[in-house]
Amino acid sequence: MSSPFRPVLIGGAWKESLGTETFQATNPATEEKFGDLFPISPCEEVEDAVIAAAQAAKETRGWPGVRFASFLQCLARKLGETERANALVEMANAETALPRAPRLLEVELPRTINQLLQAAAAAIDGSWARPTIDREKNIRSILAPIGPVVVFGPNNFPFAFNGVSGGDFAAAIAAGNPVIAKGNPSHPGTTRLLAEAAFEAAKECGMPHNFIQLIYHMSEDDGLSLVSHDCIGATAFTGSRTAGQKLKAAADDAGKPFYMETGSINPVVILPGALKEHFDKVLTDYVGSCLMGTGQFCTSPKVVVMLAGSETERWIGEAAEHFGKATVGTLLSESVLKNLQSGVGSLKLLGATTVTGGDRADGQGFRFQNTLLRVDGETFSGDYDLQCECFGNAALIVVAIDADELLECLEALEGNLTGTIYSATNGGDDALYNRIEPGLRRRVGRLLNDKMPTGVAVSPAMNHGGPYPATGHPGFTAVGIPRSLERFAALQCYDNVRQDRLPPTLRDK
């Protein structure tokens, strides 16, 4: 009799899971469970994956970057095959309710492929590892693979941040490390299709078969053991703050690098001159950015800070009107809906008032009304809990009575991925800009002018990172190649080591 549920990719083959518990995807648009049963891996299986990954790291030790690049390129090609791309898009759409087009087919899949190819190019180039040679003292150093990397994928990018195809995956492999992917439980079917492509590519390119592994799900305790395992090099985690911080604590305790990216509220400050000069553009930018992807981006502008005044009131009124008229998107899962309901409820309890929306949307599917809340600056700056992220299509506008109060709101902010200031082009806002910029700058990873923070370009200059709690270390980025590779490397120095024993890059030419 065949197994009642999908096999896991562990130890170099798709094999029956040792687990007995299962889970299933839910279509967020119909609220119905569908498709295959997927296993929840028990601790023995997680341990098997770690041992196999450690073996793969030994086998690939010293390989030139081009071998890892070939694998990434092969996977990129496979993801571009029409039939496979269509199957991926269909599955991801059913599992996440993200639109087939343009989102999944025309934006996210090409981005995913592009990231794999950029990572491959970085692996071939090799300069990311910063080989450094001090010939006089005969000391040399280089960033070397850190060891097996665990990649936890989030719910909101089924391809581009998937544990078995996304940016962290590509960076970990380009840096020379085997990957254990932890699928996001909201889209196991998509993750399976991606892992099938990755495993095929690994075999075709002569990688060790255990170089890529996949665990669909595991208990919280097993997750804690995994990220702190002696044989693991590092972990990349994109997801909820609660889960991220628990895992980080376990990894920290074991001295294992843990790169988390748990979203943020991405404050946008709209200064009065900008409102006057570009009322409509700022409005369109904001509504578009806020509701894009039904607000389910790490860089969604969850909090706008403005100065009180009649233009501000008119702007909020029009924003509310746009929110009310805009299509109500479907959320990624029931838990996103529940967290959103509870987040909006909390903001209201803490003093925010509803401008528009605020309730579950009528009809089928996990949907919530496009929601706008507001709160005064004093209340916002006085209560840290008003900085809670409402992941989904709800946002908060903070109205400060004057520049001092606006400054206080910004000084009260925790670490964020992004911070944005819209200001007049005629210099009218410059004094205020100069007053608020230093405090905002040190609280965010990416500072923007005059554009919304959604859209994280894969550029060498990008920082998709920032101060805690947006991430765990302000010196690293999750997006932007080659820099994102550095997270998965250890600095290795060779002192007086004989020429023929050095990595080729460190030898005398």
Which residues carry out catalysis?
261, 298
CB of 148 to a copy of itself, least distance (A): 11
SS3 of residue 16 by DSSP: coil
With respect to a copy of itself, which residue has the nearer C-beta, 8 or 226? 226
Q: Which of 303, 446, 454, 481 binds a copy of itself (CB under 8 A)?
A: 446
Contact 391, 241 (CB under 8 A): no
257 binds a copy of itself (CB under 8 A): yes
- Does 426 sit near a copy of itself (CB under 8 A)? no
Binding mask 462-491 for a copy of itself (x = CB under 8 A): xx-x-xxx--xxxxxx--x--x--xx-xxx
- Indicate whether 249 belongs to the interface with a copy of itself (CB under 8 A): yes
- Calpha distance 186→460 (Å, rounded): 31
438 near a copy of itself, judged by CB under 8 A: yes
Report the first-to-last Cα separation within the chain, whole angstroms: 61
Segment near a copy of itself (CB under 8 A); pick from 83-91, 346-354, 368-376, 441-449: 441-449
For 246, half-sphere exposure in the C-beta direction (CA atoms, 13 angstrom radius) is 12
Binding of residue 58 to a copy of itself (CB under 8 A): yes
3-state SS string for 101-157: HHHHHHHHHHHHHHHHHHHHHHHHHCHHHCCEEECCCCEEEEEEECCCEEEECCCCC
Residue 251 Cβ, how far from a copy of itself at the closest point, in Å? 9
Report if residue 497 touches a copy of itself, rule: CB under 8 A: yes
- In whole angstroms, give the CA distance from residue 419 to residue 111: 24
Our finding on whether 176 is near a copy of itself (CB under 8 A) is no
**Residues contacting 478, CB < 8 A, separation 6+:** 167, 168, 236, 238, 259, 261, 464, 465, 471, 484, 487
Per CB under 8 A, 437 contacts a copy of itself:
yes
Give me the least distance between CB of 160 and a copy of itself, in Å please.
Answer: 17
Q: Which of 253, 263, 256 has its CA nearest to residue 295?
A: 263
**Is the CB of residue 36 less than 8 Å from the CB of residue 183?**
no
- Verify binding: residue 350, a copy of itself, rule CB under 8 A: no
CB distance 8 to 39 below 8 Å: yes
Choosing from 22, 24, 30, 141, the residue that interacts with a copy of itself (CB under 8 A) is 141
Determine if 273 is a binding residue for a copy of itself (CB under 8 A).
no
Q: Hey, what's the torsion of the CAs at 344, 439, 453, 359, to 10 degrees?
A: 10
- On whether the CB atoms of residues 160 and 111 are closer than 8 A, the answer is yes
- Cα-to-chain-centroid distance, residue 431: 35
Among 4, 31, 32, 61, binds a copy of itself (CB under 8 A): 61
* Residue 279 found at the interface with a copy of itself (CB under 8 A): no
Smallest separation, CB 114 to a copy of itself (Å): 13
Identify the residue among 199, 286, 380, 433 touching a copy of itself (CB under 8 A).
433
Contact 17, 11 (CB under 8 A): no
The residue from 134, 220, 221, 359 that contacts a copy of itself (CB under 8 A) is 134
Half-sphere exposure in the Cβ direction for 415 (13 Å, CA): 16
> In the block, which residue shows the tokens 């700056």?
381
For the CB of residue 459, give the shortest distance to a copy of itself in the complex, in Å: 4
Residue 68 contacts a copy of itself per CB under 8 A: no
Is position 281 an interface residue for a copy of itself (rule: CB under 8 A)? no
Site string (81-100) toward a copy of itself, x via CB under 8 A? --------------------
**Interacting residue with a copy of itself among 140, 182, 187, 192 (CB under 8 A):** 140
Q: Is there a contact between 233 and 177 (Cβ–Cβ < 8 Å)?
A: yes
# binding residues, a copy of itself (CB under 8 A): 66
- Cα–Cα distance between 33 and 23 in angstroms, integer? 10
**Candidates 11-19, 130-138, 289-297, 400-408; binding stretch for a copy of itself (CB under 8 A):** 130-138
Does 301 interact with a copy of itself (rule: CB under 8 A)?
no
Cα 146 to its chain centre, rounded Å, is: 21
Q: Which is nearer to a copy of itself, 369 or 423 (CB)?
A: 423
DSSP-assigned beta bridge partners for residue 418 = 446
Q: What are phi and psi of 142, to 5 degrees?
A: -160, 150
When binding is defined by CB under 8 A, the residue of 496, 504, 508, 509 that contacts a copy of itself is: 496
> Which residues form the interface with a copy of itself (CB under 8 A)?
58, 61, 132-134, 137, 139-141, 143, 146-147, 248-249, 252-257, 415, 418, 433, 437-438, 441-442, 445-451, 453, 457, 459-463, 465, 467-469, 472-477, 480, 483, 486-487, 489-498, 501
